[in-house]
Chains A and B, each alone.
Chain A
Amino acid sequence: DAGVIQSPRHEVTEMGQEVTLRCKPISGHNSLFWYRQTMMRGLELLIYFNNNVPIDDSGMPEDRFSAKMPNASFSTLKIQPSEPRDSAVYFCASSFPGRNYEQYFGPGTRLTVT
């Protein structure tokens, strides 16, 4: 199994630019999570999808952030416009049906906004 796939692995962009992060969950997993990790705030849940439907987006910091899951094998997290405080590592994770506690994380995307 290839595991959760994320792209790009690293992204450097200028403030004000649009950033799109991509995630392919493990086949057969029906839950998908987007997290942001920083030294100050730790690992924060941004949004959670179940069967491609957003269930909980209360962690999305503001309207500049949006996430989609058009099908079971693909999700995007978009930041528009990006700001320096968005710099972080963004993880995507997926889990089997009924096992949301056992999440499989992707390698993460390290985002730097200058």
Chain B
Amino acid sequence: QQPVQSPQAVILREGEDAVINCSSSKALYSVHWYRQKHGEAPVFLMILLKGGEQKGHEKISASFNEKKQQSSLYLTASQLSYSGTYFCGSLNQAGTALIFGKGTTLSVSS
């Protein structure tokens, strides 16, 4: 079951904050965040496990609410380098591979 991300796109100026949401209709045991810059490959940012959060990258953090089956990615004081498409992923039923959401495109301008 593919996670659902919102919003689809965000436009920011440098220094502004943003929140990207990821939700699932099935139970989430972990949530995985990746970022893909234009023309490049996706890069792992962080994983959130049951009930916890793990800050993995720059000023980017995330939370995970397993009861609500959703996660949010927080980008604080955004920089130009934050621009890209952010994907959340959840493990497939077998727990062996990731199913990614359709992504949220973040554009940061100066």
Contacts and interface: CB of A to CB of B under 8 A. Distances in A.
A55 B98 CA distance: 13
B98 A101 contact: yes
A55 B96 contact: yes
Interface residues of B, number: 22
A14 interface: no
Main secondary structure of the interface of B (DSSP, over half): strand
Contacts of A42: 2, 87, 100-103
Interface string A84-114: 0000000101000000111111111000000
A101 B98 CA distance: 7
Contact of B43 (A45, A55, A105): A105
A97 to B, nearest CB: 13
Nearest to A4: B41
A48 B91 contact: no
B47 interface: yes
6 contacts: A43-B100, A101-B89, A102-B44, A102-B47, A107-B40, A108-B41
